[in-house]
Amino acid sequence: MAWIVLIISGILEAVWATALGRSEGFSKLWPTVVFGVGLLLSMGGLAYAMREIPTGTAYAIWVGIGASLTVLYAMIFGGEPASIIKILLILGIVGCVIGLKMVDAAH
């Protein structure tokens, strides 16, 4: 259950990071609300997952999922330029996240 919560929390990290950018310094109401709710849920889920998953592993996976999804979303919908190298680097992050899960499962 902790792994499922951690993955959902990583997705929510991408939600609050994207909402933070769209809030324009907290000057827009709804992106600010989405940011606040997403942040609380994401951090709460991370804290829950860290009851069973070691801190370093949980944090790295949470950040990896959030960062990868935030960049992908920005490249698809936000006008951030996409390139082969960026996509390969994101795939590298995803590969590292999978590797951390596999190493943790082996112990």
d(CA 15, CA 9) in angstroms, rounded, equals 10
Domain range list for the chain: 2-106
| pLDDT per residue as tens digits for the range 11-66 | 999 999 999 999 999 999 999 999 999 999 999 999 999 999 999 999 999 999 99
Reported in sequence order, the residue ranges of 9-73 that DSSP labels E, i.e. its strands, are none
Q: What is the pLDDT of residue 101?
A: 84
Cβ neighbors of 94 (< 8 A, separation 6 or more) are 64, 68
Nearest to 92 by CA among 68, 76, 74, 57: 68
Query: In angstroms, what is the C-alpha Rg of the chain?
Result: 15
| CB-CB contact of 20 with 64 (8 Å) | no
